[in-house]
A and B are shown apart, each in its own frame.
Chain A
């Protein structure tokens, strides 16, 4: 019976392959060729599946002067939407880790990229799901301050510009500054009439550009995922399953599942059918694939008690055309040319490796992750925590270990940095970097002023002693899942100096052995061999002597 089903399937697959061959052949086309076709597709998808055409809604048949005006119109029908948003991390930028008790979220964490939000709100809030957060006076209870469009735009024309406190531009504006390039304000009426489900592009508006630019921060999220081909991500493959972010990051009442502050490192609940999914269920591989995802090789399933799926199935990060940033050294920032002007140095590939505003950078692509035990708990070094300038400071520590059944070996991007500290207070410094005032580091290059204003934003007084500390920050690698043929092979780890050379607490055939046993066993075997050779030689000699 089973064999029958199997051969039936095989025949069907073969037939499908033959039919699909011309389609597959097109996959080889360069990504640029697909770009232009993507926007209309999304519109078609929207009107094709939704029961509501927002273009026909009376509330939206008008001119909108600002984002909040659009939101007010949205809320006339979607009465609870803003209240829902108000409870989410996307809005509060706050998160309390229930295990460690640490107060996290973008508001509180100091990272080793642009470092801190509190002193740069008007700039950072270009990625806030709201309008108007330019300082501490922002009203987090205002409903029309919620930005519906940044997530629900389908036109691709809606953009929030850093420095406008989360607003798009409402007039023609030069961007980036002094670039000679101008951007038009979005046609808010058109954008509002074309709202739809979130897409890789809308989520990516912020999540692909974390850390100050495309591909900079995560290593596994960048704009190449807007229209990815199969090699880049098997699930998001635009011509295949075409997953959007929300296919896995299922949301309920605008609360999107998944968290970088307390990720699910080991999902032991098994595969969940639609009716078994709870709101907020972690968007894990196993949530769909279950505990024994390798049907033809049971030995591979034996690995799931120790390894995250990502370890083998995302063999490198930044697997697309874009380079991700690997290090950022703030200590060299502020070098200017002879005219006192900002310098930008590019490498041969045209990527900025030095910027007066920010310091030195390095990049990588197809980068091999670091691997570590991880149980989902992350401890951060927060403002006020003691810092030793002579030690490498871990901005975040992934907890877990081999003896903890909730831990798995995870791939991570380790981002290294060197960033300002207040040596007097012995803590990470909060710098004021972006803004048009004379204290913003970008443009004024004065750490004294920058840190005085920055530290004040968290209620501290800058001691006047500037220092720098080397830092690391870990980012779990979980996107850009490779086709199975590109997954790691056994030998990548089961060898000396393999991928998991640094992982302790487990025995890995091919990597581990007992020197005592191997030496002892080998010596005994050699002795046995020598013994029989001598004995045999003796017999031959004796035989010859007798013949004489």
Chain B
């Protein structure tokens, strides 16, 4: 076993701050939606909006970070080992088969993660952001030439985004336990260090990744 430094300090901060904000926004958002009563509608709305701005700020930094460090390349989808990953989750994981994917600092996400995170970044987040910002700036629609827009469409798009995020959240949290030990991924997300099989470096050097 070898320890590699996968998640930099900013990345870890971004991940956990985002996790907190998304959990908070789901809790308050579904309350505003009328699914249950917890904080009270008014406080839920206030918190939801406050956390939205915090998340947007965080994302401005995160986007800057992704592009200046070139980390955005980590999300370029690939089919390499995708079938192997699916097979691993379906069978291998139960029989203690070796994990088909070898992590490196340059390839820290397996192909399923890549496609899932890309989907979050390109579909779920924009859906939530655009509909959410429109929701916040409802009074300005006419001034922006969006007078034809219906609040109902925006609200339903936002709700749809919220359900997608909830589903992503459930699966994501579960798969965090699917490392070589149940807590390995979580530890790595906290400390930045992941334990990988020693041969990985060679293998990647060989494939040129």
Given the interface pairs A302-B139, A305-B139, A509-B34, the reply to whether A524 lies near B163 with Cβ below 8 Å is: yes
Residues of A in contact with B, size category: 35 or more
Interface size on B, residues (CB 8 A): 33
A520 to B163, CA, bound (A): 9
Given the interface pairs A525-B163, A532-B170, the reply to whether A517 lies near B34 with Cβ below 8 Å is: no
Contact B41 A510 (CB under 8 A): yes
Question: What's the least CB distance linking B7 to chain A, in Å?
Answer: 23
Q: Is A490 close to B, CB under 8 A?
A: yes
Task: Return the contact of B42 from the options A489, A532, A538 (Cβ within 8 A).
Answer: A489
Contact A506 B166 (CB under 8 A): no
A518 to B166, CA, bound (A): 12
Question: What's the least CB distance linking A30 to chain B, in Å?
Answer: 33
Q: Is B32 close to A, CB under 8 A?
A: yes
A528 to B172, CA, bound (A): 10
A301 to B137, CA, bound (A): 11
A301 to B167, CA, bound (A): 34
Q: Total A-B pairs in contact (CB under 8 Å)?
A: 84
Question: What's the least CB distance linking A531 to chain B, in Å?
Answer: 8
Task: Return the contact of A542 from the options B42, B95, B162, B164 (Cβ within 8 A).
Answer: B95
A535 to B176, CA, bound (A): 13
Contact A490 B41 (CB under 8 A): yes
Q: Is A437 close to B, CB under 8 A?
A: no
Q: Is A529 close to B, CB under 8 A?
A: yes
Chain A 513-538, CB-CB to B under 8 Å as 1, else 0, gives: 11001101110110011011001101
Given the interface pairs A512-B152, A539-B94, the reply to whether A299 lies near B170 with Cβ below 8 Å is: no
Question: What's the least CB distance linking B121 to chain A, in Å?
Answer: 19
Contact B171 A528 (CB under 8 A): yes
Interface segment, one of B52-60, B69-77, B153-161: B153-161
Contact B151 A494 (CB under 8 A): no
Q: Is B40 close to A, CB under 8 A?
A: yes
Question: What's the least CB distance linking A358 to chain B, in Å?
Answer: 44
Contact A536 B174 (CB under 8 A): yes
Task: Return the contact of A495 from the options B34, B96, B155, B174 (Cβ within 8 A).
Answer: B34
Task: Return the contact of B34 from the options A299, A489, A511 (Cβ within 8 A).
Answer: A511
A46 to B96, CA, bound (A): 96
Given the interface pairs A507-B151, A538-B94, the reply to whether A491 lies near B40 with Cβ below 8 Å is: yes
A525 to B160, CA, bound (A): 12
Question: What's the least CB distance linking B155 to chain A, in Å?
Answer: 5
Task: Return the contact of A494 from the options B34, B35, B89 (Cβ within 8 A).
Answer: B34
Chain B 166-185, CB-CB to A under 8 Å as 1, else 0, gives: 11001100110100000000
Contact B45 A512 (CB under 8 A): no
Contact A528 B167 (CB under 8 A): yes
Jot down 22 A-B pairs with beta carbons below 8 A, ordered by A.
A299-B45, A301-B139, A495-B34, A495-B41, A509-B155, A510-B41, A511-B34, A512-B152, A513-B159, A514-B156, A520-B163, A524-B167, A525-B163, A532-B170, A532-B171, A535-B89, A535-B174, A536-B177, A539-B94, A542-B95, A546-B95, A546-B96
- Residues of A whose CB lies within 8 Å of any CB of B are 298-299, 301-302, 305, 489-491, 494-496, 506-507, 509-514, 517-518, 520-522, 524-525, 528-529, 531-532, 535-536, 538-539, 542-543, 546
The 7 closest A-B pairs by CB, nearest first: A521-B163, A532-B174, A507-B152, A542-B94, A510-B34, A491-B41, A507-B151
Known: A305-B139, A513-B159; 19 extra A-B contacts, CB below 8 A, are A299-B45, A301-B139, A490-B41, A490-B42, A490-B45, A494-B32, A507-B152, A509-B32, A509-B155, A510-B34, A512-B155, A513-B33, A517-B160, A521-B163, A525-B170, A528-B167, A528-B171, A532-B171, A542-B96
